[in-house]
Amino acid sequence: MAKLVEQYIDIAKKRNPGEPEFHQTIEEVLTSLEPVLEANPQYIEAGILERLIEPERMVTFRVPWVDDEGKVQVNRGFRVQFNSAIGPYKGGLRFAPSVYSGVVKFLGFEQIFKNSLTGLPIGGGKGGADFDPTGKSDAEIMRFCQSFMTELYRHIGPETDIPAGDLGVGAREIGYMFGQYKRLVNEYSGVLTGKGIPYGGLQGRTEATGYGIVFFAREMLAHFGETLENKTVAVSGFGNVAWGTVAKLNELGAKVITISGPDGYVYDEDGVSGEKIDYMLELRASGKNIVEPYAKKFKSAKFFKGEKPWGVKADLYIPCATQNEIHIEDAKKMVENGCRYLCEGANMPTTNEALQFLHDNKVVIGPSKAANAGGVACSCIEMGQNAGHTVFTPAQVYEQLEQIMINIHKQAAEASAKYGYDYDLVKGANIAGFLRVAEAMMAQGIV
Nearest distance in Å: CB 208, ligand GLU = 8
**Rounded distance between C-alpha atoms, residue 422 and residue 429, angstroms:** 13
Distance CA 61, CA 151 (A): 7
User: Which stretch in 133-141, 309-317, 359-367, 371-379 sits in contact with ligand GLU by CB under 6 A?
Assistant: 371-379
Torsions phi, psi for 233 (to 5 deg): -130, 130
SS3 58: strand
How far CA 371 is from CA of 213, 361, 376, in Å, comes to 5, 21, 11
Q: Which of residues 192-211 bind ligand GLU (CB under 6 A)?
A: 193
Assess 90 for contact with ligand GLU (CB under 6 A): yes
By C-beta, is 266 or 381 nearer to ligand GLU?
381
Residues labelled as active-site residues: 126
Binding mask 220-259 for ligand GLU (x = CB under 6 A): ----------------------------------------
Q: Which is nearer to ligand GLU, 201 or 261 (CB)?
A: 201
Label residue 289 left, alpha or beta by phi (over 0 means left) and psi (-120 to 50 means alpha).
left
CB 378 within 8 A of CB 384: no
Q: Is 379 in the site for ligand GLU (CB under 6 A)?
A: yes
- CB nearer ligand GLU, residue 88 or residue 261: 88
Whole-angstrom Cα Rg for the chain: 21
Query: Residue 213, interface with ligand GLU (CB under 6 A)?
Result: no
H or E, element range at 163: strand 161-164
Q: Find out whether 125 and 383 touch, Cβ atoms under 8 Å.
A: no
Query: Which of 212, 367, 375, 428 touches ligand GLU (CB under 6 A)?
Result: 375
* Size, binding site for ligand GLU by CB under 6 A: 11
144 contacts 65 by C-beta, under 8 angstroms? yes
Q: Pick out residues in 106-125 that bind ligand GLU (CB under 6 A).
A: 114
Residue 400 makes contact with ligand GLU by CB under 6 A: no
Rounded-to-integer distance, Cα 111 and Cα 89, Å: 9
What are the CA-CA distances from residue 175 to residues 73, 343, 348, 433 (Å)? 22, 31, 27, 31
Q: Is 84 in the site for ligand GLU (CB under 6 A)?
A: no
Contact indicator for 242, 210 with CB cutoff of 8 Å? yes
Which lies closer to ligand GLU via its Cβ, residue 244 or residue 312? Answer: 244
Q: Hey, what amino acid is at 29?
A: V
**Residue 92 interacts with ligand GLU (CB under 6 A): yes or no:** yes
Residue number with the smallest Cβ distance to ligand GLU: 92
Kindly tell me which of 266 and 370 has the beta carbon lying closer to ligand GLU: 370
Interacting residue with ligand GLU among 91, 108, 237, 366 (CB under 6 A): 91
Residues of this chain that interact with ligand GLU (CB under 6 A) are 90-92, 114, 164, 166, 193, 347, 375-376, 379
